[in-house]
Amino acid sequence: MPQRKPKVVITDYDFPSVSTEKAILEKAGADVIEGHCKTENDVIKVAFDADAIINQYVVITRGIIENLQNCRIIVHYGIGIDKVDVEAATEHGIYVANIPDYCVDEVSSHAMALILDCTRKIVFLNNALKRGQWDFKLAQPIRRISMLTLAIAGFGKIAGALAEKARGFGLRRILAHDPYVSPEAGKQFGVEMVDMTELLEEADILSIHLPLTKETKHMFGEKEFQMMKKSAIIINTSRGAVIDEVALIKALREGQLAGAGLDVFEKEPASFSNPLLRMENVVVTPHVAWYSEESFQDLQQTAAEEVARVLHGKIPNSLVNREVIEYGRSR
């Protein structure tokens, strides 16, 4: 009787194709199934007997995980792992892996672009000029960027890359807060590690680079905005729900904050009725900071390579739940 081929399910994707993944995984001896899943039941139906799952937008819930008979690894197309119930996967001995390096350059560059736009008010002036208004005074006040302090919340790889780029633009001071990063590590990037209170109080620009977890959801809300300068701007290229969006809208309307540059929203796609999309002191983009043609390729290739590693009996390079190793796998 012929040996059963490993089954890999790609639950959903918005790439032009998954030919890259298929080439890598078929070479590893696997059958690749494109699921086009939108719901929990969709995933269970197609992936209950899968040896591996790759997901993008559909949430891999505890209910799905409890119905997986053979799964050895779940790989998420991206850095954040809020789309996967990691605790449930760990309980069932399933590796969870992400792709942490594929868009470091893109996201840090996008954050820097939003910083430059919000401080120089480029989109605002562009829109005014196209309405027939030729007047620099419309954008007052604009501060010299070398007089401003950049504060970074969360200091992983993307934040480190942003700090290096910001130094090139001559920011007066770069601060960061991350309880998992030592002052010595921050110094390597020319960054001063501070507590959260100092970060908020000193920020002319606050750039957020945090994963979405139970601890970080709505980490920035009314209380935090009141601690900041009224001239401060906030930049978010991480996850929308890290900010209490209702509180942000209130702070911007009431002048508690001067502006914002947002690539992410609490609910995505963002509703066209969302007030943030209509505020002149807010620059928005549609969760695109990660994107370049090169990051597309890296994301798809690395996701498939992580699955192939596990199919060959190896441990993923970017393992999120190391407890699976420490406590022994159930599969």
Tell me the catalytic residues. Answer: 239, 268, 287
Q: Cα-Cα-Cα-Cα dihedral of 153, 159, 165, 169, to 10°?
A: 0
Coil, strand, or helix at residue 320? coil
Q: Which helix (H) or strand (E) holds 75?
A: strand 73-76
Can you tell me the distance from the alpha carbon of 118 to that of 109, in angstroms, rounded to the nearest whole number? 14
Number of residues assigned to the chain: 331
In the numeric block, the tokens 């030729």 are attached to: 134
Can you tell me the distance from the alpha carbon of 193 to that of 176, in angstroms, rounded to the nearest whole number? 5
Handedness of CA 40, 34, 20, 288 (dihedral sign): negative
- The CB-side HSE value for 60 (13 A sphere, CA atoms) comes to 36
Please answer whether residues 60 and 53 qualify as being in contact, where contact means their C-beta atoms are separated by less than 8 angstroms.
yes
Q: Which helix (H) or strand (E) holds 32?
A: strand 31-34
Q: In 160-176, which positions are buried (b, 16+ CB within 10 angstroms) versus exposed (e)?
A: bbbbebbeeeebeebbb
Find, among 331, 283, 321, 323, the residue nearest to 75 by Cα. Answer: 321
In the numeric block, the tokens 């209950």 are attached to: 48
In the numeric block, the tokens 């480029």 are attached to: 122
Q: What residues contact residue 178 under an 8 Å CB cut-off, 6+ apart?
A: 153, 154, 155, 156, 159, 193
